[in-house]
C-alpha cells in the first residue's frame, strides 16, 4: 500500500503547464505571466499634482527656509477629487508642521485632471490644481488646500512647502526600461493595473489547465432523466467539475461514457489530446471499472495500487496518450472522489497555474467531539471549523468519521468547510485534542 506522500509526489511530478497564449488583461486575473513586461515610457509621463491644492513656486511662499515636508502616503496612487480629497487632507494634516506664514498670491487659473491646455506659472502666482492634474510650467510644489484660506481669486498660504512637495515627478513610479511585471508572476489586481498603466492591453500568460471529467458506470443516468430501478444520478461529474473550476481549471464535463469499448476509447483519446489532466470516476472497483482500465492500458500506464488513506484508498493514477497526460481513476462514491480531488488533483491544478503554495492552508484546532480513524491510514475527516469568540482559538467539529457519523454521505460533506488530517498512527481523537485542519473554501 502506497503512502499519501508518495502518491502525492507521483502526481505533482507529473504536473504540466499549458503553452502560453496572448490574452486580454481583462481575462488574465489569476494566471501566470509568461513574459517580462518592460515599460516603454515613464510613469507618470508628466509632472502631476499629488493632492488637491495650488501649484506654486516654493520660493514664493518662503519654501527655501521651510522644513522638508514628506509626501503623503498615498502619493503614488491615482485618485479623483471626490474619492481622494478626504484622505489627502488627512495626509497633509499628518505631516510635520512647516513654519507658519502669511503669504498672499493671486490665483491665475485652474487645471483639472486630464487637462490638455498648457499653463505657465509666473513668479508670485498660484494655479488651482486637482489630484493628477499636469503641473504648470515653472511650478515646483503643490500647496495643499488645507494649508490655505481656499481663496478663488487670491489665496493666503498659512504654511510653507519645499520644492517637490506633493508633486509626482516624471518617472517616480516607473522609468523606461523598468520591468513592470516579471515572467512567472501570478497576475493579481495590482499587476493587472500596472499592465494597464504601461499601456498593455494584452499579455502573454499560461492559460488555465484544461481538465476533462468523465463518469463511467452502467448504473448512472444524467440529472435530467428519471432513474429506473438500480440507477442513480451522475453526481461525480458535476461535483468534480465544480471543484476543478473552483481550483482554477478550464473544465470540460463529458458526462457519462457509454457504448462499446472502441467507442469509449475514441472519446477518451479525443479528450486526452485537449487536456492537461483527465479524471474518470467510477473507474476503480467492480467489473465495469475493469473495462476502463483495460482501455487505458492500451494507451498508457495506470497504477491502481491502494493508497494508505481514508476515505479514497481505492484509486488509480498514471500517464496516458502520446503527451503523457496525468490521468486519475476515482471511485464512484462522491465523498471519496471529492477527498481524492482535494488531496491530489487540486494541487496539480494549482501547480499548473504557477501558484507558489499549491496546498490548502493548514491550521491547528481543538477538537470538539470524538473521532475514529483507521489504523495505518491517513484520515481526512470532513469537519466544521470555527473560532472561539473570546480566545480566537480555532475549534473543529468532525462531521464524517465522528462516532456514529457515516463516512460516505455527501450531505455531511456539503456542510463542511474543513477537513481534519489524522496521522496514520492515530486511531482516535478525543474532545480537547489539538489536530491539523485543512481549511477549505469559506462559505458565506
Q: Residue 231 in contact with residue 220, Cβ under 8 Å? A: yes
What's the half-sphere exposure (Cβ side, CA atoms, 13 Å) at 101? 24
Which of 78-82, 96-100, 347-351, 420-424 is the least confident region?
Answer: 78-82
Mean pLDDT for 146-171 is: 91
Please report where in the chains the cell 506664514 appears, as a residue. Answer: 101
Per mean pLDDT, which range of 134-143, 220-229, 280-289, 433-442 is the poorest?
Answer: 280-289
Q: Which residues pair with 281 in a beta bridge?
A: 215, 330
| Predicted local distance difference test score (pLDDT) of residue 64 | 55
Residue 100, C-alpha cell as written in the block: 507658519
Q: Are 167 and 76 within 8 A, CB to CB?
A: no
Per-residue confidence (pLDDT) for residue 105, from 0 to 100: 94
Q: Is residue 126 over pLDDT 50?
A: yes
- The percentage of the chain sitting over the pLDDT mark of 90, rounded to a whole number, equals 59
pLDDT at 68: 40
pLDDT tens digits, 16-66: 888 899 999 999 999 999 999 998 888 888 999 999 999 999 999 886 543
User: In the sheet that 277-281 helps form, which strands lie side by side, from edge to edge?
Assistant: 250-257, 210-216, 277-281, 325-330, 316-320, 300-303
pLDDT over 80 at 273, yes or no: yes
Confidence tier at 172 by pLDDT (50, 70, 90): confident
220-257 pLDDT per residue, tens: 889 888 888 888 899 999 999 999 999 999 999 998 88
Using alpha carbons, select from 257, 343, 261, 258 the residue that is nearest to residue 295: 261
Give the pLDDT confidence score for residue 88 in this predicted structure. 53
> What's the pLDDT score for residue 315?
94
pTM score of the predicted model: 0.75
Once rounded to an integer, what is the mean pLDDT over residues 380-404? 85
* Residues in a beta bridge with 326: 319
Q: Which helix (H) or strand (E) holds 189?
A: helix 189-197
Amino acid at each position: 500500500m502506497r503512502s499519501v506522500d508518495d502518491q502525492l509526489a507521483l502526481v505533482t511530478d507529473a504536473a504540466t503547464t499549458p503553452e502560453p497564449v496572448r490574452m486580454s488583461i481583462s481575462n488574465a486575473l489569476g494566471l501566470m505571466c509568461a513574459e517580462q513586461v518592460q515599460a516603454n515610457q515613464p510613469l507618470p509621463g508628466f509632472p502631476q499634482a499629488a493632492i488637491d491644492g495650488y501649484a506654486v513656486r516654493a520660493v514664493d511662499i518662503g519654501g527655501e527656509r521651510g522644513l522638508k515636508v514628506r509626501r503623503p502616503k498615498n502619493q503614488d496612487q491615482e485618485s479623483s477629487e471626490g474619492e481622494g480629497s478626504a484622505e489627502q487632507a488627512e495626509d497633509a494634516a499628518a505631516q510635520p508642521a512647516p513654519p507658519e506664514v502669511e503669504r498672499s498670491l493671486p490665483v491665475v487659473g485652474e487645471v483639472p485632471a486630464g487637462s490638455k491646455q498648457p499653463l505657465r506659472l509666473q513668479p508670485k502666482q498660484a494655479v488651482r490644481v486637482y489630484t493628477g492634474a499636469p503641473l504648470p510650467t515653472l511650478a515646483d510644489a503643490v500647496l495643499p488646500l488645507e494649508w490655505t484660506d481656499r481663496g478663488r481669486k487670491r489665496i493666503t498660504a498659512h504654511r510653507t512647502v519645499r520644492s517637490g512637495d506633493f508633486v509626482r515627478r516624471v518617472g517616480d513610479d516607473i522609468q523606461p526600461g523598468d520591468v513592470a511585471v516579471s515572467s512567472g508572476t501570478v497576475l493579481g489586481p495590482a499587476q493587472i493595473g500596472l499592465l494597464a498603466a504601461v499601456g498593455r492591453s494584452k499579455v502573454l500568460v499560461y492559460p488555465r489547465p484544461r481538465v476533462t471529467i468523465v463518469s463511467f458506470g452502467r448504473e448512472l443516468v444524467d440529472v435530467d432523466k428519471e432513474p429506473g430501478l438500480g440507477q442513480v444520478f451522475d453526481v461525480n461529474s458535476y461535483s468534480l467539475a465544480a471543484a476543478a473550476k473552483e481550483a482554477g481549471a478550464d473544465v470540460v464535463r463529458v458526462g457519462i461514457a457509454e457504448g462499446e469499448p472502441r467507442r469509449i476509447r475514441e472519446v477518451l483519446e479525443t479528450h486526452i489530446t485537449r487536456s492537461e489532466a483527465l479524471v474518470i470516476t467510477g473507474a476503480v472497483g467492480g467489473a465495469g471499472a475493469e473495462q476502463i482500465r483495460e482501455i487505458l492500458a492500451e494507451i498508457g500506464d495506470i497504477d491502481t495500487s491502494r493508497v494508505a488513506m481514508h476515505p479514497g484508498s481505492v484509486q488509480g493514477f498514471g500517464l496516458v496518450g502520446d503527451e503523457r497526460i496525468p490521468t486519475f481513476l476515482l471511485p464512484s462514491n462522491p465523498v471519496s472522489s471529492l477527498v481524492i480531488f482535494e488531496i491530489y488533483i487540486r494541487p496539480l491544478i494549482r501547480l499548473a497555474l504557477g501558484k507558489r503554495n499549491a496546498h490548502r492552508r493548514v491550521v491547528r484546532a481543538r477538537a470538539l467531539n470524538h473521532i475514529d480513524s483507521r489504523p495505518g491510514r491517513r484520515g481526512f475527516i470532513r469537519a466544521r471549523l470555527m473560532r472561539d469568540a473570546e480566545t480566537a482559538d480555532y475549534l473543529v467539529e468532525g462531521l464524517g468519521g465522528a462516532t456514529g457519523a457515516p463516512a460516505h454521505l455527501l450531505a455531511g460533506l456539503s456542510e463542511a468547510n474543513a477537513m481534519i488530517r489524522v496521522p496514520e498512527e492515530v486511531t482516535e481523537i478525543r474532545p480537547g485534542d489539538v489536530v491539523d485542519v485543512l481549511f477549505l473554501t469559506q462559505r458565506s
